[in-house]
């Protein structure tokens, strides 16, 4: 039966939504924070780190100054480059298949990640998702020129429009309040996924919240009877 989507394009957050990179993030954070004389986070404390730009997180979570944070980000990124950006990363179950299915049904898609774009590129290539995406959008490497979620969403919509995509009814899929707030700045509704790294209240303001990929698929694709 033919499918269609209520959305003209889908934007994807990456960390905590498409990819679970927590193993590598925790390892690199531990090395970086201990290098700068700070206490490393526990795995439970990763909720404070995964999602927002690292440049902000070093300041908010361990009290670094902007200059210290910039230095810490640069050091942290050298560790990621040494890892090849994909070490320890894995897809959340079913998400890759859903992205592929959306592409098969002709739904344009893009990433909209606060993770540096060079890393998002590597991850999408590694998991074979790049061919399903119209554009891959992430932050600048220093996370200072382009990193705020609202700016990332705007850039993703700009690149999609430049590629000829109808951006009149976009939706953002994400797992943090930054996604909800960033989408809201551009009138982009958010479907909040609960399998990422978030507190329950972070779904406030989202158009919908889902617990599994089956629920997400039902909001992104409609069969012929529902269309």
pTM: predicted TM-score of the whole model, two decimal places: 0.86
- On whether both 9 and 32 belong to a single domain, the answer is no
- On whether both 217 and 131 belong to a single domain, the answer is yes
- On whether both 184 and 165 belong to a single domain, the answer is yes
Segments forming the whole domain that contains residue 79: 22-83
> What is the DSSP code string of the chain?
--EE-SSSEEEE--BTTTEE-HHHHHHHHHHHHHHTT-PPPPGGGGGGTSSS-HHHHHHHHH---HHHHHHHHHHHHHHHHHHTS-TT-EEPTTHHHHHHHHHHTT--EEE--SSBHHHHHHHHHHTT-GGG-SB---B-TTSSSS-SHHHHHHHHHHHHHHTT---SSEEEEESSHHHHHHHHTTT--EEEETTSS--GGGGTT-SEEESSHHHHHHHH-EETTT-
pLDDT of residue 200: 87
Residue 40 tokens read as 């490393």
Please classify residue 40 by burial: count the beta carbons closer than 10 Å to its beta carbon, then call 0-12 exposed, 13-18 middle and 19+ buried. Answer: middle
Q: Which domain CATH number covers 77? A: 1.10.150
- On whether both 58 and 135 belong to a single domain, the answer is no
Angle at 10 between CA 6 and CA 16, to 5 degrees: 125
- On whether both 149 and 186 belong to a single domain, the answer is yes
Domain boundary residue, one of 61, 83, 105: 83
| Close Cβ partners of 162 (under 8 Å, ≥ 6 residues apart) | none
pLDDT of residue 224: 54
- On whether both 193 and 112 belong to a single domain, the answer is yes
Q: What are phi and psi of 109, to 5 degrees?
A: -140, 155
- On whether both 16 and 26 belong to a single domain, the answer is no
- On whether both 173 and 184 belong to a single domain, the answer is yes
pLDDT of residue 151: 95
Domain boundary residue, one of 42, 58, 83: 83
CA distance 112 to 76: 21
pLDDT tens by residue, the chain, 227 residues? 457 999 999 999 999 999 998 888 888 899 999 999 999 888 888 878 887 788 889 999 999 999 999 999 899 989 888 877 898 899 999 999 999 999 999 999 999 999 899 999 999 999 999 999 999 999 987 766 788 999 999 999 999 999 999 999 999 999 999 999 999 999 999 999 999 988 889 999 999 999 999 999 999 998 754 54
């Amino acid at each position: 039966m033919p499918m269609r989507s209520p959305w003209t394009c889908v934007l994807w957050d990456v960390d905590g939504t498409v990819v679970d990179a927590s193993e590598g993030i925790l390892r690199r954070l531990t090395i970086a924070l201990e290098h700068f004389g700070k206490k490393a986070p526990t795995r439970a404390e990763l909720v404070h780190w995964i999602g927002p730009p690292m440049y902000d997180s070093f300041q908010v979570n361990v009290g670094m100054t902007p200059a210290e944070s910039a230095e810490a980000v640069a050091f942290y990124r050298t560790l990621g480059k040494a890892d090849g950006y994909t070490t320890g990363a894995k897809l959340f179950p079913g998400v890759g298949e859903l992205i592929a299915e959306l592409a098969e049904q002709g739904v344009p898609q893009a990433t909209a990640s606060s993770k540096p774009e060079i890393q998002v590129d590597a991850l999408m290539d590694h998991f074979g998702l790049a061919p399903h995406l119209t554009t891959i959008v992430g932050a600048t490497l220093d996370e200072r020129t382009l990193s705020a979620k609202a700016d990332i969403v705007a850039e993703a919509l700009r690149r999609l429009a430049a590629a000829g995509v109808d951006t009149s009814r976009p939706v953002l899929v994400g797992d943090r309040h930054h996604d909800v707030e960033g989408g809201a700045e551009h009138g982009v509704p958010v479907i909040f996924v609960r399998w990422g790294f978030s507190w329950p209240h972070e779904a406030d303001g989202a158009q919908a919240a889902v617990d599994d990929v089956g629920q997400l698929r039902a909001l992104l694709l409609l069969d012929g009877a529902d269309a």
